[in-house]
A and B are shown apart, each in its own frame.
Chain A
Amino acid sequence: MKTETFGSTDKSIPAHDRRRGVARRQLRLWPNRHGRDRWARRSMALLVALVTLLVPLIALALYERARPILADQSLRELLTSSVWHPLQGAFGFLPFIMGTLWVTAVAMLIAVPPSLLTAVYLTEYASTRVRNLVMPFIDLLAGIPSVVYGVWGMLTVVPFVGTVAAPFLTRYLGFIPFMQSDNPTGYGVLAGGIVLAVMTFPVIIAVTGEVLCAVPQGLREASWSLGATRWQTTHLVVLRRALPGVVAAIVLGFSRAFGETMAVLMVVGNVAQVPHSIFDAAYPLTALIANNYGEMMSIPLYDAALLCAALVLMLVVLLFNVISRLVLSRIARQG
């Protein structure tokens, strides 16, 4: 109805708005298409802001719930004491932190060399056909649930460690301090490390692959034209250029292993002690939380202590993630 919009005589509306028909628009309950766009923009921006704030909110919530124990004992005391007697109010996280560190360290020692070599093979050596054939399987490895990894660990890795690796390594490498075994079961740091290593393969391979792809092709060609072999080009040019990104990939793999719960819990033995050998049973932080949270709520501070453990876990993972993501996004921008 053209005449209505143009012929509006309502003097309360400014003249230029009367001409553009704004008055009629403003009276409608359901906004027109430009109004809908504005509303959508605002509400989506709100959602994005909410998600951006989610990380600090989670940390804050955990801190809030962990405060009772942090008020009672200093953080330093909690992290360095190895006495874990919840009934007596002694919450020393040291055995659990050491358990996590041992398992993660072993996992990284096992995982890093093959993952890096595989990533280099897939990006620098393999043909596109081979790469397209292999990558889906690596994605598949990433998609397997952690419980299934745990079952595999119990069925294959634990017996292997118990009957093959432990006797063999103790016999031939027993002079190395970390290699003696007095634990015949196989449940322990090494089994957890192997399972975690397989779980971190896909993370490190995928991220390293992306980083290597971002290295300009011209660098490789320049190196080849000087007569360098592929491997020389790879380790003198490509890997050197991609080093920060490769480190970031390893750190991402580390933080994935650090926070993994179910698979580790099932194979690591869960004995609250500071491990002294790769065959000792350990009790990582994640396993501590999974096994005990929600029970024995009547013990004072117990709940707060476990949330404090979750907070420590989260902060470590957060720190590593932020650093490596910043490095990776800088690489992506340059590439």
Chain B
Amino acid sequence: MSRRRLEEGFFKVLMLLSTAVVLGSLLLILLTILWRGLPSLNLAMLTQLPQGGYYLGKEGGILNAIVGSLYLAGGATLLSLLFSLPIAIYLRLYANQTRQAEVARLALDVLWGIPSIVYGVLGFAIMLWLGMRASLLGGIIALALLELPIMVRGMDEALCMVPPALLESSSALGATRLETAVKVAVRQAFPGLLTAVLLAFGRGIGDAASVLFTAGYTDRLPGSLLDPAASLPLAVFFQLGTPFPAVQERAYTAALVLTIIVLALSLISRQVGRRFTRHVVR
């Protein structure tokens, strides 16, 4: 065998090994979480609030964290949707390929790269300045900032997939750009837009560093936007911090619940691409 064939084979094996390492690490993570999280998973865990002495290993569950996380990520996704849909429409349908759009896209990419702890710290600093305490609202705003670039980027790409001929036909019929955007582009790109929203929701529900200061933590369900709210990632983090093995077991279970939610979201967003196509022109 010649040297170059040997080289070819060597690197091919190396590449296959690397791919196996990458996929294997995913498998290892999922198996570890499943194996350690499953034993403590039961209905009480999911449907009860922490009772007295919960953090010493007594009765209770993590309902506060599950509900808190859904409130936080749901609110943040709605808030961020309010801003990101117009931004994506403007970037793609009004100002595409202009200098302004180019700079805005760069800014969004950079925003995406900003560590979530920075959002958390900044959010809390601003809340202190306004005299607010850690609250659901603060957490929602910090998370919305984190989700915004993810959502806009996804929507931008979804709108990019709309065939130009469709937009041109709409314009040719005398529709304004706004009408074309709302009645044609958004409908055509709907599955892609929904995928972007779900992706952002998944990112939001899993992030701990941005809600660490802004949303606080509580054993009760938040009754209003100004109450502090618990969240699943922080439930994992705080329960791991206790010295009791029984509580740590529950942290693994909370991590399992979080992982299942994120995986389910990811699967759903994949399916969404195939469903919800009632208004899509092919």
Contact = CB atoms under 8 A, between A and B. Distances in A.
Contact of A125 (B15, B23, B111, B233): B15
Contact of B266 (A143, A149, A201, A322): A143
A54 B21 CA distance: 38
B188 interface: no
A115 interface: yes
A27 B19 CA distance: 67
Contacts of B29: 141, 144, 148-149, 152, 198
A216 B106 CA distance: 25
A165 B212 CA distance: 33
- How big is chain A's contact interface, by range? 35 or more
Contact of B110 (A65, A289, A294, A318): A318
Contacts of B177: 37, 41
A318 B106 CA distance: 11
A140 B263 contact: yes
A83 B17 CA distance: 44
- How big is chain B's contact interface, by range? 35 or more
Interface of A is mostly: helix
A146 interface: yes
Interface stretch (B6-14, B51-59, B159-167, B219-227): B6-14
Interface string A6-31: 00000000000000000000000000
Given A44-B90, A140-B266, A152 B33 contact: yes
Contacts, number: 257
Nearest to A286: B117
Interface string B189-215: 000000000010011011111001100
B9 to A, nearest CB: 9
A191 B113 CA distance: 23
B118 A154 contact: no
A307 B25 CA distance: 35
Interface string B233-274: 100110010000000000110010011001101100010000
Nearest to B10: A231
Interface string B16-31: 1111011101101100
A256 B116 CA distance: 10
Given A37-B179, A117-B18, A314 B206 contact: no
A217 to B, nearest CB: 20
Contact of B114 (A41, A155, A156, A317): A317
A148 B203 CA distance: 13
Contacts of A205: 22
Contacts of B115: 258-261, 286, 313-314, 317
A87 interface: no
A212 interface: no
Interface string B142-183: 000100100010000000000000000000000011110000
Given A37-B179, A52-B103, A151 B209 contact: no
**Nearest 9 A/B pairs, CB to CB:** A259-B115, A145-B206, A44-B90, A121-B15, A117-B18, A114-B18, A37-B176, A321-B113, A261-B209
Given A48-B101, A229-B5, A255-B113, 7 more contacts: A121-B18, A146-B207, A152-B28, A290-B209, A293-B124, A294-B124, A325-B109
